[in-house]
Chains A and B, each alone.
Chain A
Amino acid sequence: MPPRLRGHPLADLHFGDDQPTEAEQAAIDAIVPPADAATVVETERIVRGGRSRRHGLRHLLLPVLHSLQHEIGWISPGGLNGAAERLGVPPAEAYGVATFYELLRTTDPGHRDDVVHLCVDPACAMAGNNDLRTSLEAEGARVHDSPCLGQCERAPALFVQGVGRPDRVPSDDEEDFHLPQAGDPSLRVLRRVGEVDPTSLDSYRDHGGYEALAAAIEMGSDAVIADISDSGLSGRGGAAFPTGIKWRAVADEPGPDKHVVANCDESEPGTFKDRIVCEHDPFAVIESMTIAGLATGSPHGWIYIRGEYPRATARLESAIAQARAAGLLGDDVAGSGQRFDIEVRRGAGAYICGEETALFNSIEGFRGEPRNKPPFPTTHGLFSQPTAINNPETLINVLDIVIEGPDAYRSVGTERSPGTRLFCLSGRIGVPGLYEVPFGTTLGELLDLAGGPTGELGSVLLGGAAGVFVGPDALDMPLTLEDTREAGATLGSGVVTVFDDTVDMEAVVVRIAEFFRDESCGQCVPCRVGTQRQHEVLVELQASGRPLAPERSELIDDMALAMVDASICGLGHTAASAVRSALALGLIGNSS
């Protein structure tokens, strides 16, 4: 952060007459005390100075809005003015940010009740979310339809957004967590999940924790990055970019203003792996981020985590505090002489913020709109500074690579897809849950491992809403980057949602189209309008009960090509993927 300068309050912004109430002021003060208010110094030209100061504090905008939402139940005009003035952000821009997020309200709800978010995505729909809604509403709950809440293995999912009370996930309290593959010696990324006490640094150390950091410090930056490159580790979030190349690029950038970001904003419908990993092995995320920080020479670490993950957030924050107290984070990490520390930022309900550049904008206090690439994050990432951004699964792989070396790492998986992969199984499957298998395991073997399909297998959605449907003939397909690509499929973020032949697939596909319509940031025309029109075509198809007309089929293809070719980011690029695969497989569009 730039040094804070003493001076006058910002003079170049206009705030309306609405003032924060006492409670709203307290909610703002809790995040940004009055002494830290944005100011300009006397000699600065007001306009330019105001603007640069604004950027200085603006990364606290989303935390302040969260605080107001949590304490008051909505962001009122007075609350927004108070927050904007404290941070030196124009109120119109603060409003633009507040209205971007699903978990922030900018209209008075007229009550201070908790809001119960009920997942309406495929796994929860199959698990009877409508019945759950009926019973919740009968109890007088305020139910709000939500996109995937990342709890597909225990569907139907709820997230309770508290007003004046902590957010909570009812299933967390009832759960007796048990990993389906518990005790399997072949587990790597999930080795400690369910075994280690996630609230205790000592327990983590007892399970081999922080041996990798010690080894990494001993090896030095270049050797660590060389091993990561040689291991063939690639990103597990969907794009499968080689991690070693990413880290090398950031390490090669000069200066200390560099960042490591853990992208824990998984929101792809059907994905829950980061939640389980962060809840049950949070120190592994912290340790691997620390290795990334030291290896790339980046002193600043950030965790951006879904707002719907209160337990994972609490456990990560606790792990950070314990690591800091033990000298494993801070000015001199584990005696390395290098600085690395981590701040946690909560998302507020926006799928798009899992896109790396949208995530940067979200942390910086701007609307979560993706940036055009190039430039890439390795040179222009968070705060336009060099940034290595990885998701937790990718990061945790680093621990074994550092300890065992790249050859041992490559002993599982395939030549082009080394290592293991996490898969999130849900829907009509015997034992839904998180599984880890070597790359190259076939889809059929994976389904068998999870108890096999319940009922007659209809189709499998690979990679979530941004992925593709495959039919029973794909059971022999090896789950590798190369084989799925060749088959026109994708592993995406590891989603495997299983449908039997009784599921109303038209309803599933209409919902997927609705998901993209709702989650498009609205910035670029192909995606903003394309996702809307695609949904309209599918709603029309569903209502007609007739086969898809040729001119509608052509329209869907035309829209898809424009979204793939001309959208700014991956959301638009993939928004038609599942829809078109469902049509190609004949899952929808054939009614007569």
Chain B
Amino acid sequence: MSSVATETAVTIRIDGQEVAVPEGATILDACDAAGVETPTICYGPTLTPVNVCRVCVVELDGSRALVPSCSRPAEEGMVVHTDSERVRHSRKMVLEFLATGVDVSQADELGQWAEHYGADPDRYVPGGQTMDEPVRVQDNLYIRDYDKCVLCYRCVEACGDDAQHTYAISVAGRGFGARISTEFDVTLPDSACVYCGNCVAVCPTNALQFKTEFDLRQADDWRPEDQTVTQTVCSYCGVGCNLELHVQDNQIVKCTSPDDHDVTSGNLCIKGRFGWNYV
């Protein structure tokens, strides 16, 4: 990633265009630098790439299979194709596959890419297996709707090594039966969860939602178009975390922090994330 940039530059060719990136940059970084838009799901700018969703794959000359651009370091002389038939096919299939088993209705970016690549989730065998999970509402702070979960591992990474070091959740089970879970699926209050909400912040499909958002959606009253975002600094301690207060009808409905903020990298604690009822 560009944050570990050194003086050394690596030049690679993307769709015929030469791009120079710092050593250590990924192919995805190079695509960004070249102005080539790349779909991503499991990739997050603040997280270590786990390269599991495979939607960012590109064709690399000399490589038999496609390679995940999010995690593959750019190497001098690489020749990369981001819009070949093979790339378009695999990206389409990943988006199609996800839409056959998961409720992606609140994953806007996914929907746009699915349309772009012509994904057709309706061509599969009727009645196929889906996630089929009840919404877990276990407290007043956030809910888990695993029908919407694409198993991108971002929440697990944010809860673990990449941000919080709490390790309240993991992937459990195997294959199509794999789910994000606490130990024995105990409720969040019984788990190690400290309610920092950093998992909610990184979820790309709205499987993890603020309870306020969930309740408004249930009431069919979630109106992002009517919301304003107010930047402020958290008042609880002296760290200086930036807060973005999302306000609808003069009520705070959720709270985020910018990924590129040098104090938070998008992360907050329970007080900053959820402790705004007093406002």
Which A residues are closer than 8 A to B by beta carbons? 12-14, 16, 47, 50-51, 77, 80-81, 84, 90-96, 99-100, 106, 350, 367, 372, 517-526, 528-533, 536-537, 539-540, 551, 555, 558-559, 561-562, 564-568, 573
**Contact yes or no, A533 B184, CB < 8 A:** no
Q: Hey, which chain A residues are within 8 Å of B172, CB to CB?
A: 95-96, 99-100
| 11 A-B pairs whose Cβ atoms sit less than 8 Å apart in the complex | A93-B167, A367-B171, A372-B51, A517-B175, A519-B175, A521-B174, A521-B175, A525-B53, A551-B123, A562-B89, A565-B57
**Contact yes or no, B52 A525, CB < 8 A:** yes
Q: In the complex, how many angstroms separate the beta carbon of B176 from the nearest chain A beta carbon?
A: 4
Q: In the complex, how many angstroms separate the beta carbon of B99 from the nearest chain A beta carbon?
A: 10
**Contact yes or no, B175 A522, CB < 8 A:** yes
Which B residues are closer than 8 A to A by beta carbons? 51-55, 57, 65-66, 68, 71-72, 86, 89-90, 93-94, 97-98, 100-101, 123-125, 128-129, 150-151, 160-161, 165-178, 181-184, 186, 190-192
Which residue of B is nearest A50, CB measured? B165
For B192, give its contact among A90, A106, A523 (CB under 8 Å).
Answer: A90
Q: Hey, which chain B residues are within 8 Å of A47, CB to CB?
A: 165
**Contact yes or no, A93 B176, CB < 8 A:** no
Interface SS majority for chain B: loop
Q: Hey, which chain B residues are within 8 Å of A564, CB to CB?
A: 65
**Contact yes or no, B183 A566, CB < 8 A:** no
Q: Hey, which chain A residues are within 8 Å of B151, CB to CB?
A: 522, 525, 528
**Contact yes or no, B97 A522, CB < 8 A:** no
Q: Hey, which chain B residues are within 8 Å of A523, CB to CB?
A: 52, 171, 178
Q: Hey, which chain A residues are within 8 Å of B97, CB to CB?
A: 525-526, 529-530, 533, 562
Q: Hey, which chain A residues are within 8 Å of B54, CB to CB?
A: 524-526, 566-568
For A92, give its contact among B66, B94, B161, B169 (CB under 8 Å).
Answer: B169
In the complex the two chains form, what is the Cα distance from A33 to B98 in whole Å? 45
Q: Hey, which chain B residues are within 8 Å of A568, CB to CB?
A: 51-52, 54
**Contact yes or no, A524 B125, CB < 8 A:** no
Q: In the complex, how many angstroms separate the beta carbon of A267 from the nearest chain B beta carbon?
A: 14
In the complex the two chains form, what is the Cα distance from A566 to B39 in whole Å? 14
For B128, give its contact among A525, A536, A561 (CB under 8 Å).
Answer: A536
Q: In the complex, how many angstroms separate the beta carbon of B126 from the nearest chain A beta carbon?
A: 9
In the complex the two chains form, what is the Cα distance from A84 to B68 in whole Å? 33
**Contact yes or no, B184 A565, CB < 8 A:** no
On whether A350 and B174 interact (CB within 8 A), knowing A77-B183, A372-B51, A566-B66, the answer reads yes
Which residue of A is nearest B59, CB measured? A565
Q: In the complex, how many angstroms separate the beta carbon of B195 from the nearest chain A beta carbon?
A: 13
Q: Hey, which chain A residues are within 8 Å of B166, CB to CB?
A: 14
Q: In the complex, how many angstroms separate the beta carbon of A460 from the nearest chain B beta carbon?
A: 26
For B71, give its contact among A372, A522, A539, A566 (CB under 8 Å).
Answer: A372
Q: Hey, which chain A residues are within 8 Å of B176, CB to CB?
A: 517, 520, 522, 528-529, 531-532
In the complex the two chains form, what is the Cα distance from A360 to B258 in whole Å? 37
Q: In the complex, how many angstroms separate the beta carbon of B157 from the nearest chain A beta carbon?
A: 12
**Contact yes or no, B178 A528, CB < 8 A:** yes
**Contact yes or no, B173 A522, CB < 8 A:** yes
In the complex the two chains form, what is the Cα distance from A567 to B57 in whole Å? 10
For B183, give its contact among A91, A529, A561 (CB under 8 Å).
Answer: A91
Which residue of A is nearest B169, CB measured? A92
For A562, give its contact among B52, B93, B124 (CB under 8 Å).
Answer: B93
In the complex the two chains form, what is the Cα distance from A358 to B178 in whole Å? 16
Q: In the complex, how many angstroms separate the beta carbon of A463 from the nearest chain B beta carbon?
A: 18
**Contact yes or no, A525 B174, CB < 8 A:** no
In the complex, the 5 A-B pairs of residues with the closest C-beta atoms, listed nearest first: A90-B167, A522-B178, A96-B170, A14-B192, A562-B93
**Contact yes or no, B57 A95, CB < 8 A:** no
Q: 16 other contacts beyond A565-B86, A567-B54, with CB at 8 A cut-off? A: A14-B166, A14-B168, A16-B190, A51-B165, A95-B182, A522-B174, A524-B52, A524-B53, A524-B54, A525-B53, A529-B101, A530-B93, A533-B125, A559-B93, A566-B54, A568-B51
Q: Hey, which chain B residues are within 8 Å of A558, CB to CB?
A: 89, 93
Interface SS majority for chain A: helix
Q: Hey, which chain B residues are within 8 Å of A372, CB to CB?
A: 51, 68, 71-72
Task: Tell which of B89, B172, B177, B183 has the most Cβ of chain A within 10 Å.
Answer: B183
**Contact yes or no, B150 A525, CB < 8 A:** yes
**Contact yes or no, B174 A51, CB < 8 A:** no
Task: Tell which of A81, A99, A568 has the most Cβ of chain B within 10 Å.
Answer: A99
Q: Hey, which chain B residues are within 8 Å of A106, CB to CB?
A: 184
For B124, give its contact among A12, A13, A51, A536 (CB under 8 Å).
Answer: A536
**Contact yes or no, B128 A13, CB < 8 A:** no
**Contact yes or no, A92 B192, CB < 8 A:** yes
Which residue of A is nearest B176, CB measured? A532
**Contact yes or no, B55 A525, CB < 8 A:** yes
In the complex the two chains form, what is the Cα distance from A523 to B50 in whole Å? 10
Q: Hey, which chain A residues are within 8 Å of B89, CB to CB?
A: 558, 561-562, 565
**Contact yes or no, B98 A525, CB < 8 A:** yes
In the complex the two chains form, what is the Cα distance from A51 to B93 in whole Å? 37
Which residue of A is nearest B168, CB measured? A92
Q: Hey, which chain B residues are within 8 Å of A562, CB to CB?
A: 89-90, 93-94, 97
For A93, give its contact among B52, B71, B150, B170 (CB under 8 Å).
Answer: B170
In the complex the two chains form, what is the Cα distance from A14 to B93 in whole Å? 40
Q: Hey, which chain A residues are within 8 Å of B177, CB to CB?
A: 522
Q: In the complex, how many angstroms separate the beta carbon of A362 from the nearest chain B beta carbon?
A: 12
Which residue of B is nearest A101, CB measured? B174
**Contact yes or no, B125 A537, CB < 8 A:** yes
In the complex the two chains form, what is the Cα distance from A568 to B100 in whole Å? 21
In the complex the two chains form, what is the Cα distance from A338 to B52 in whole Å? 41
For B90, give its contact among A80, A522, A529, A566 (CB under 8 Å).
Answer: A566
Q: In the complex, how many angstroms separate the beta carbon of B200 from the nearest chain A beta carbon?
A: 17
In the complex the two chains form, what is the Cα distance from A179 to B170 in whole Å? 46
In the complex the two chains form, what is the Cα distance from A47 to B164 in whole Å? 10
Q: Hey, which chain B residues are within 8 Å of A94, CB to CB?
A: 183
**Contact yes or no, A566 B124, CB < 8 A:** no
Q: Hey, which chain B residues are within 8 Å of A80, CB to CB?
A: 183-184
In the complex the two chains form, what is the Cα distance from A558 to B119 in whole Å? 12
In the complex the two chains form, what is the Cα distance from A128 to B182 in whole Å? 41
Q: Hey, which chain A residues are within 8 Å of B190, CB to CB?
A: 16
Q: In the complex, how many angstroms separate the beta carbon of B112 from the nearest chain A beta carbon?
A: 18
**Contact yes or no, A540 B93, CB < 8 A:** no
For B129, give its contact among A51, A77, A522, A532 (CB under 8 Å).
Answer: A532
**Contact yes or no, A95 B101, CB < 8 A:** no
On whether A16 and B186 interact (CB within 8 A), knowing A92-B169, A525-B150, the answer reads yes
Which residue of B is nearest A561, CB measured? B89
Q: Hey, which chain B residues are within 8 Å of A12, CB to CB?
A: 165
Which residue of B is nearest A95, CB measured? B183
In the complex the two chains form, what is the Cα distance from A573 to B66 in whole Å? 11
Q: Hey, which chain A residues are within 8 Å of B123, CB to CB?
A: 551, 555
In the complex the two chains form, what is the Cα distance from A100 to B174 in whole Å? 6
Q: Hey, which chain B residues are within 8 Å of A517, CB to CB?
A: 175-176
Which residue of A is nearest B178, CB measured? A522
For B171, give its contact among A96, A529, A533 (CB under 8 Å).
Answer: A96
